Chains A and B, each alone.
Chain A
């Protein structure tokens, strides 16, 4: 049994120790256990507990609690009594341990906090003269602006980037360190203003931090990376870094106008309907509507199998059975026509295709541009010829009359011979 009791005590102590170590919120932690002269105060962070009057004979004292200079509590308590009030996110308790007389009366107090992370206490101590002489710590707020003098530039052009910061908070920003990352696609060309490694910015102060020149090296729309700043307040309290805006810059490439050769090709025929075994004449029209001369101009006339190429302009050569036209060059605004004649062989609906290919130099690129295109005529209807119906008749339709005529002819000749002396 004894052993069990020993173990429980150890566990309790260990737990208590652990609670102290981690500053557990639920634990009550002692802040100050000492004497404060009447007229003085005790500051914890922005709270000041003034000991405004000490009544030795009555064993009482009047305490006034200020937060940031503002009176929050005004209470008189007796010896061994305590008052509690909200302290930031936790609760603070003030116990009056005793009062003493002297030149000035003194109150002995015990201040504890509970539900509070004591790591957050940055100031703690006696303030002579009370809250009126206390120094409060505030929250500096840095607003960083990043501006560019131009948002649209060409590759190779430069922009001036100005970064300024203004402290719109209620405390000085101290140990301010700006971070301005490198900007891809730009070269840092010149720097006019550069911040010191650390700086401080007073409340309401506007400071120009950076002024520098960036030169665009490539086209695109770029969002400049934000400039950030880390800082602390007078109480050396650190704040989350401030971030600037991110202006956009559009960089374009200056185009050198390119030249083109645009050969317009069209083919028309003298008649859209043709009788079989008749001929049609097709004309290929060419015009260079561009501003560059075309070279190596080939035109290939795709003659459907159902047609027979009869003749054409001298410029049309038959190469491998295909009518082709070749021109070394074909200048801007030049026009040309070529005609050829085909004979329709089979009934049906057809189109004639002229395939065009050529090259040109656009004056910018080293290599020639290659173009190929084709023109298609309207439908051409090959219809029955005048005597086609005859050709379609069965053979005997022709043979019989021919035989009959031959027989009659032979008979007449026979008779003629018979009666010719």
Chain B
């Protein structure tokens, strides 16, 4: 049995964490927490950290005692420098909290790359964890909608670098922009994305701790995650009918199944493919064929099979990427954004000249 720690930082991280907690309940609905119990594979501790109290209050499925409020007005306002300082000031509280939760075999830290709190807390938290413990720590990072503005883009660029340098054992990317196709208003789009991410995390945790027919375990996962450029994403497909396992595998690797835009056969370096379902649907030959096709194109592919009676085929693929054109694109717009921000700043400084004009009427009263 694995001991798993999941920390959600900032609003985005909190909400994805809450989605994980929600899906762990049997009913997976608003009232589930009143009548059912969470069911995790292994021992799972979830912690939501935020500077904005309202964001924490909004959560519904995460126990109150597992929410840590770091008081700093109303968040850090997307300013990562402020965020970093706040983390430093409150590091002890957070670390003591985690300490009290006991020993872990693996940790996941969920955050958006672009906000203030999550993106600044996450690299620093990972660094702390790595210094104190020797379990692997993975970051699950959400990339912004590209139109969200220059501040977010620059935050994303810097926070990703910070996370990579924090000593994390890997970054799993999820891209709001890429998943935008889910549609609906922002709130329901977020909820949809969060549920997708949560479902994958739960599946993954299940896979790392299952009596699989063909075994994959935390060690395999570590190996996969250590490959490539330390950047990974997840593909997933869950059929709602008797779909050939071959199709299910292909779909999990297609854009519709991925959290981040990538050409798997081009950019992936290692993979772990976990297939779940009723024995009758799982043709070993088909599975082998598909996995061979993938490993022929990339590198090593771990495969695991979980037998669940009466379940239609489900496939989860963890893929580490050697290269990512999408990320390169992101960085190039981020650089543009940084330039824009700098220009804006100088512009604001020139605008300060206006102050001089106003200062001329200082001390005078209008005469009527």
Contact = CB atoms under 8 A, between A and B. Distances in A.
Interface string B80-101: 0000000000000000000000
Interface string A408-421: 00011001111111
B312 interface: no
A102 to B, nearest CB: 177
Contacts of A418: 33, 63-65
Q: 10 closest A-B pairs (Cβ-Cβ)?
A: A421-B64, A421-B67, A412-B34, A421-B57, A415-B34, A421-B56, A415-B33, A418-B63, A420-B64, A419-B33
A418 B63 CA distance: 6
Interface residues of A, number: 9
Looking at chain A's contact residues, is the secondary structure mostly helix, strand, loop, or mixed? Answer: helix
Contacts of B34: 411-412, 415-416
Contacts of B63: 418-419
Contacts of A421: 56-57, 59, 64, 67, 69
B190 interface: no
B121 interface: no
B62 interface: yes
Interface in A372-421: 411-412, 415-421
B349 to A, nearest CB: 42
Nearest to B65: A418
B146 interface: no
Contacts of A412: 34
A380 B88 CA distance: 86
A411 B37 CA distance: 12
A301 to B, nearest CB: 58
Interface in B43-72: 56-57, 59-65, 67, 69
A415 B59 CA distance: 14
A34 B67 CA distance: 184
A404 to B, nearest CB: 13
Contacts of B57: 421
Interface string B5-42: 00000000000000000000000000001100000000
A411 B35 CA distance: 9
Contacts of B67: 421
A415 B60 CA distance: 11
Interface of B: 33-34, 56-57, 59-65, 67, 69
Contacts of A415: 33-34
A417 to B, nearest CB: 8
Contacts of B69: 421
A419 B56 contact: no
A384 B15 CA distance: 59
Nearest to B53: A421
A416 B64 CA distance: 10
24 contacts: A411-B34, A412-B34, A415-B33, A415-B34, A416-B34, A417-B64, A418-B33, A418-B63, A418-B64, A418-B65, A419-B33, A419-B59, A419-B60, A419-B61, A419-B62, A419-B63, A419-B64, A420-B64, A421-B56, A421-B57, A421-B59, A421-B64, A421-B67, A421-B69
A144 B227 CA distance: 170
Contacts of A420: 64
Given A415-B33, A416-B34, A421-B69, 6 more contacts: A411-B34, A415-B34, A418-B64, A420-B64, A421-B56, A421-B59
Contacts of B61: 419
Nearest to B59: A421
A412 to B, nearest CB: 5
Contacts of A416: 34
A417 B63 CA distance: 9
A415 B38 CA distance: 12
A122 to B, nearest CB: 147
Most-contacted residue by chain B among A411, A415, A416 (CB, 10 A): A415
Most-contacted residue by chain A among B33, B34, B56, B67 (CB, 10 A): B34
A393 B64 CA distance: 43
B11 to A, nearest CB: 14
A418 B61 CA distance: 9
Contacts of B59: 419, 421
Nearest to B58: A421
A421 B61 CA distance: 11
Nearest to B54: A421
A416 B33 CA distance: 9
Nearest to A412: B34
A406 to B, nearest CB: 15
Nearest to B18: A419
Contacts of B64: 417-421
Nearest to A416: B34
Most-contacted residue by chain A among B56, B57, B62, B63 (CB, 10 A): B63
Nearest to B55: A421
B132 to A, nearest CB: 27
A361 B61 CA distance: 93
Contacts of B33: 415, 418-419
A116 B59 CA distance: 161
A417 B67 CA distance: 13
A121 B33 CA distance: 153
Contacts of B60: 419
Nearest to A413: B34
A412 B34 CA distance: 6
Contacts of B56: 421
Nearest to A420: B64
B156 to A, nearest CB: 28
